[in-house]
Amino acid sequence: MKTSIHEYIVYSTDINRINSPAFYDCVVHLICIEGNASFTYNKQVFHISQGQIAVLSQPRLIQSIEATEDFRCEFITAPGKFLQNLLPANNYSIQGGISLFSNPIINVDKGNAERFRTDLHNIRRRINDTEHRFYVEMIGSLLQTMVYDLFDFHTRVNDNVLTTDRVGYITSQFFSMIEAGTPKTEREVTFYANKLNVTSKYLSDTIRRVTGHSISYHINHATSLIIIAYLEDSRLSITQIADEMHFTSVSYFSRYCRKHIGMSPAQFRLAGAKV
């Protein structure tokens, strides 16, 4: 990520680019400055007008973009995984993300619209500052500010971001277990399904439909954050961490790390020691 994050942080004013394949692993954060536009997202039609913001976590699901001749917008893209790693696992980001996947439009007043544009411009000014020795951390802090501002806007108009029906209840309970750190020792879908008294297929289908990601994606993401926290604590050996997290062997733990955090536990600690 440290060597490639720059190419994925993009500023643009062309709405027709928001579903570009180059952004499929990114989140698009867009504000309408003038005019009106519409698009289909996750098989639903949405309209955006002056002062409204759209947060689009799955650009590949965007279709049928149409805009009036006077339409003007600004947007920033950033990798979804990078953004998730900026925020704590027990954050509003989980439930807010679910809500925004269902309805990506946020209504804001003039003052907050200007605040969001300031966030965008701050990021735009530093995108190409790649000689900065802490570029990833610096650009991450600017993106983090933008995301927290978006959370602030969203909570002002969405006191309860999950519905009270069965789907909302199941989704909320699943993420409550994720936030509580359950993936530390439980990483099988069947465990969560049994706890919620539903079938694994129902739970998997529900989480994918509501969030746009598989249930394994969420479990593995939370597990990865727990692993990273453990590896950053030099008091525990790799064997102790594997035992603590109930991996069946150190070799399996190492394979899991290589797959989900991009390097073995030993490599992660070596990289940390060199920083």
Domain ranges of the chain: 5-157, 166-274
Q: How far apart are CA 268 and CA 242, in angstroms?
A: 15
Compute the average pLDDT of residues 266-275: 77
Reply yes or no on whether the pLDDT at 162 is more than 60: no
Cα separation, 171 vs 211, in Å, equals 9
- Describe the crossing of helices 166-179 and 200-211 by its angle, rounded to 10 degrees: 90
pLDDT (average), residues 74-93: 77
- In the chain, pLDDT over 90 holds for what percent of residues? 64
- Taking all residues of the chain, what is their mean pLDDT, rounded to a whole number? 88
| Two tokens, residue 28 | 């698009």
Per-residue pLDDT at 2 exceeds 50 = no
Mean pLDDT (whole number) for 42-51: 91
Question: At 1, is the pLDDT very low, low, confident or very high (cuts 50, 70, 90)?
Answer: very low
Count CB neighbours of 172 within 10 A: 16
Residue of 36, 37, 143, 40 lying closest to 93 (CA atoms): 143
**How many angstroms from the chain centroid is the CA of residue 48?**
22
Phi/psi region, residue 144 (left: phi>0; alpha: psi -120 to 50; beta: rest), is: alpha
Return the closest-CA partner of residue 181 out of 232, 243, 223, 244. Answer: 223
Q: What is the CA radius of gyration of the chain?
A: 20
Rounded to the nearest 10°, the torsion over CA 140, 18, 115, 47 is -140
What mean pLDDT do residues 36-61 have? 92
Which pLDDT score is estimated for 3? 45
Q: What is the CATH number of domain 166-274?
A: 1.10.10.60
Q: Is it the case that residue 40 has pLDDT exceeding 70?
A: yes
Q: Is the pLDDT of residue 92 over 70?
A: no
Q: Confidence band (pLDDT; 50, 70, 90) for 85?
A: confident
5-157: which CATH architecture?
Sandwich (2.60)
Q: What is the mean pLDDT of residues 191-202?
A: 95
Work out the pLDDT band at 160, boundaries 50, 70, 90: low
* Whole-number Å distance between alpha carbons of 180 and 2: 29
Query: Does 166-274 match 5-157 at the fold level?
Result: no
Confidence category of residue 54, pLDDT binned at 50, 70, 90: very high
Which residues does 94 contact at the CB level (< 8 Å), separation at least 6? Answer: 175, 178, 179
Residue 165 has pLDDT above 80, yes or no: no
Greatest Cα pair distance in the chain:
62
Secondary structure (H, E, C), 114-160: HHHHHHHHHHHHHCCCCCCCCHHHHHHHHHHHHHHHHHHHHHHHCCC
Can you give the pLDDT at residue 90?
45
- Percent of the chain predicted with pLDDT > 70: 90
What is the rounded distance in angstroms from the CA atom of residue 250 to the CA atom of residue 247?
Answer: 7
Q: Which residues contact 103 (CB under 8 A, 6 or more apart)?
A: 46
Distance CA 65, CA 80 (A): 22
Average pLDDT over residues 17-39: 94
Range with the largest mean pLDDT of 36-50, 172-186, 222-236, 241-255? 241-255
Give residue 176's pLDDT.
83
> For residue range 223-267, what is the model confidence (pLDDT) as tens digits?
998 999 999 988 999 999 999 999 999 999 999 999 999 999 999
Q: How confident is the model over 22-34, as a mean pLDDT?
A: 94
Name the band, by pLDDT with cuts 50, 70 and 90, for residue 78: very high
